[in-house]
Amino acid sequence: MLIQLDDVCRAVGLVLGRPGASGADRLLEDLGAESIDVLNIMVTLEQQFGVSIDEAGMAGVSTVRDLHELVLKSPHAGNPPEDAARPA
């Protein structure tokens, strides 16, 4: 399963309480994220998609699309976590 931009937008929107976040939205300026929010977004994405986000790479993240591209660079981006693969 390839992680889609819409999936990252939805996760960011849930963490920030801002449904409808788009790829062009800037995390800080448009969505009002603070540093702790960015950390929560990272943890949420890592847990939800079973990826490991490079913390050094986060310095270059400005928009939700940038975040999506960083997530896709994770070596585990194509493999969902085992629990997510199990039917409910």
Burial 66-83 (b: 16+ CB within 10 A, else e): bbbbbbbebeebeebeee
Q: Mind listing the pLDDT tens digit of every residue in the chain (88 residues)?
A: 689 999 999 999 999 999 999 999 999 999 999 999 999 999 999 999 999 988 888 889 999 999 999 999 887 666 555 554 444 4
End-to-end CA distance of the chain: 17
Q: Do the Cβ atoms of 64 and 86 come closer than 8 Å?
A: no
In order of their start, the domains of the chain are 5-79 (1.10.1200.10)
Which pTM value belongs to this model?
A: 0.82
